[in-house]
Structure 1
């Protein structure tokens, strides 16, 4: 959780406390009126728990200020998009960010990912991953522990073989052609993609050149169950947890999925790109 996020949550808690006091209620009295444990009221007021939209509506009604709900919701919306600077995230090197990805994957049952110009990290070979991470490190000026980051990325891939998890990937055909390393490394990466097709925990879809799309995939994004969307930009990552953002990205996923080829068709498409590379 970022400092900016916590500062905003604390400010929202202070506003909730102010509304409670204006209604002449103490924490226990408000908790009794809401049917909540007093600890929940305390945590919300002190910025130690993030209120849901329903929490805010119940609070506003309980203090006799339903008119304050739009204000409270606007304050909460400012918390829901957490912008994380890449320079800050990578200050300790790439490995720490990969460890964070391992943790998110571990608590997720369904992972859905859209990638536009590169292969998803969960499907990358070691050499391909090294090239991607090294290029990112050089671009951002934080060249640290690339080998450790590669090892962590490969550990994350162990989740692909967990029968209690499911992974759905949509990759634009551009990612099959975009090379960030030598032809041999890229060829091996395409071989890896083809080998993933058929694994019972993985569904791999390709968005072919020339297919009609209801919406173009303007950027990559990852959806973790229905609790988190991560969007990567050049300078930041956005960690989105609000319901509206999640629904928006799920709709984008559905629209893209409808244009993807899977199974044998996907295998043939990848195979054609692989054949053009030769033996590598």
Structure 2
């Protein structure tokens, strides 16, 4: 049975893809918050409709990614003064055939660059100017943030630790450019860097490249180490690093044996199942201390 709905300001949820919106929704409803969901037609799982049908404290509105004015009007009509972004919106969608409304078109024209921080920061400012505060995407989900240390039964071996250290130095250097959060390393050489395609696609690309090199009798060791870090000044309202089962399965297929993330600023979804699967696949997961 859904929790009782508390009266007062509603929570707006801008829902992208994946499980993140559902986890945040569950946590907010467990605290008795009424939630108004802006579901993105190009991204949000249709399961959200089933949830709304059985939960009177959940209202869902479907919007296109380009409809910034409609998003604002939807929240204002519902009395939403606090909102949260949860779930990925693929960066490449910015360059897709989706047509922005006048407000989003104006915003895009005035951007000096179109990286994630600048774009979402501009959207957050527009929302704020309209009386809608965008709060941290980890709101209600603090228990899911990774704690420092080795999280799996197997710790990294010496080769993986060398790869981790090299990968951390590369990822730290790249993080400030807001290109991507992930680098993939083998034998202290950078095999792949995440860009617009996302973490899983970068890991898949690294795995495919290593298979090609292996076929050519390359001296590079087959095992890959994945390093995923937040940006130096990570805005916790959006684009927080997330690791879930899908990323772990992608690593297993690609031949990756180690994952390094940053403690306290990385969300682990389905933690128990994630760590069980990591142990089964002999993948070591380490949460390193905050670097900034």
TM-score by length of 1: 0.24
Instruction: Give the structure with higher Rg (CA).
Output: 1
TM-score by length of 2: 0.24
Q: Which has the higher helix share?
A: 1
Higher RCO (Cα < 8 Å, 6 or more apart): 1
Q: Which has the higher strand share?
A: 2
